[in-house]
Amino acid sequence: MQDKHLHIISFDVPYPPNYGGVIDVFYKIKNLHEKGVKIHLHCIEYPGRERTDELNKYCEEVHYYPRKTGMKSAFSLRPYIVSSRRSTEMLERILEDNHPILFEGLHSCYFLADKRLKGRFKIYRESNIEHQYYYNLFKVCKNLFSKIYFLGASCKLRMYQRVLKHSNMMFCVSEKDTSYLQEQFPDNKVIHMPSFHPNNVLDVMDGRGEYALYHGNIEVPENTHAAVYLINEVFDDIDIPLVIAGMNPPERIKKMVKGNDNISIICNPEDEEMFDLIRKAHVNILVTFQATGLKLKLLNVLHQGRFCLVNDKMLNGTGLDDLCHIGNDTASLKKRLKELFENDFTGDDVSRREKVLRELYSNKMNAERLIELVWE
């Protein structure tokens, strides 16, 4: 049997897998490697993320390219997140063979329409409808300069999205995003392929915990907005402790909880500590004001935590509605919290989760499906 080789162009170094986008990239690489696929990984380097030997365990070769963050990228007609990830050296390497190419996110699609790649099998991996994502950042951001940047980026990304017609296949993380891209590109093959993730088994404690947990990369405007909302409007007058945990919480969040005995904040917890916080919480509360992509922290919570309380936008075509408790406004979130803290989490809840997650979000099954779609 002929070996299966795949070029993957990653918008960032996918290790450590500690935020949404790179979690999908890393665990996709790991699971495809376990199925015998030879990965040729091309990473665009991003400040603060180091080169690592860990990726060599799963890849035939790993190449790194500096992100081009100068004025030429900033004033390009292409979106900045795309133009700053161009590399002639990378393209020359990819042209040395005829293997399929997987473009991770619109960020990585600088060469998707390049004439030199005509005839190559090109796959687009969607993780967000990017112009919608940036428009929502524009709406929630308070800084004027950032608002102008996000709005401009959203307009450029909306126009640049047309480049996706040059892909042979698109894999989308949610059913809603799949429907959107099917409408935009009726002549392309657009397929729902859920995100890959670190959870292969459920590891959930029954019984009850003592606090509610909100977690995420708090410095991202979307998550900052959610944290502020929970502090000011949901946990402002109820006697349920809230723990906020995540990467780089802004100073204004720290100031908001200072002196509040009912709300605590844990900055930059290590993976094991975060895992422990998720497992021991009685309710993991996840709200978002952006109905785009698949929130991987939702999958983590359903594999590791007790009750999961969300709003509709967090679910966004995931098929996970029946596993979560839903509140779409302040009053309903408070009501649900109080009800959940009166009940124990039981084995029946775990069994129902296991069935749904095994059917929809099995890494093994999705890796096999990806291989079948690309090579067979």
Cα separation, 136 vs 149, in Å, equals 12
The answer to whether 310 touches 326, Cβ cutoff 8 Å, is yes
Look at residue 207 and tell me if it is in a domain. no
Strand blocks (E) in the chain? 5-10, 38-45, 61-66, 101-104, 122-125, 169-172, 189-192, 212-217, 242-247, 263-267, 283-286, 307-310, 325-326
Domain assignment present for 202: no
- 16 prior amide bond cis, ω within 30: yes
Tell whether 183 and 324 lie within a shared domain.
no
Burial class (CB within 10 angstroms; exposed 0-12, middle 13-18, buried 19+) of 96: exposed
User: Is 260 a domain residue?
Assistant: yes
| 352 and 370, same domain (yes or no) | no
- What's the pLDDT score for residue 350? 86
Domain check: are 337 and 217 in the same one? yes
Claim to verify: residue 238 and residue 128 sit in the same structural domain: no
pLDDT band at 40; cut points 50, 70, 90: very high
Helix H or strand E encompassing 232: none
- Does one domain contain both 190 and 268? no
Q: List the domain range (segments joined by +) for residue 296.
A: 212-359
Residue 43: strand pairing partners: 10, 64
Q: Find the mean pLDDT for residues 46-67.
A: 94
Whole-number Å distance between alpha carbons of 302 and 295 = 12
163 Cβ contact list (under 8 Å, min separation 6): 109, 112, 113
Asked if the structure places residue 205 within a domain, the reply is: no
Are 157 and 254 members of one domain?
no
Torsion of CA 336, 218, 323, 22, to 10 degrees: 180
Count of domains in the chain? 2
Residue 206 lies in a domain: no
- Residues 139 and 151: their CA atoms lie apart, in Å, by 9
Could you tell me if 115 and 135 lie in one domain?
yes
Cα distance between the two ends of the chain: 12
Compute the average pLDDT of residues 271-289. 95
Could you tell me if 65 and 106 lie in one domain? yes
The answer to whether 278 touches 205, Cβ cutoff 8 Å, is no
**pLDDT (tens digit, 9 = 90+) per residue, 243-275?**
999 989 999 999 999 889 999 999 999 989 999
Same domain membership, residue 254 and residue 178:
no
Residues 143 and 177 in one domain: yes
Q: Which of 167, 165, 179 is nearest to 129 (CA)?
A: 179
Kindly report the CATH number assigned to the domain that includes residue 153. Answer: 3.40.50.2000
**More confident position, 48 or 52:** 52
Q: What's the pLDDT at 376? A: 80
- Position with higher pLDDT, 360 vs 30: 30
> How confident is the model at residue 48, as a pLDDT?
80
Residue 204 located in a structural domain = no
Q: What are the residues facing 214 on neighbouring strands?
A: 244
- Measured CA to CA, the distance from residue 256 to residue 264 in angstroms comes to 10
Q: Give the pLDDT of residue 294.
A: 65
Do 154 and 216 fall into the same domain?
Answer: no
pLDDT tier at 3, thresholds 50, 70, 90: very high
156 and 182: one domain? Answer: yes
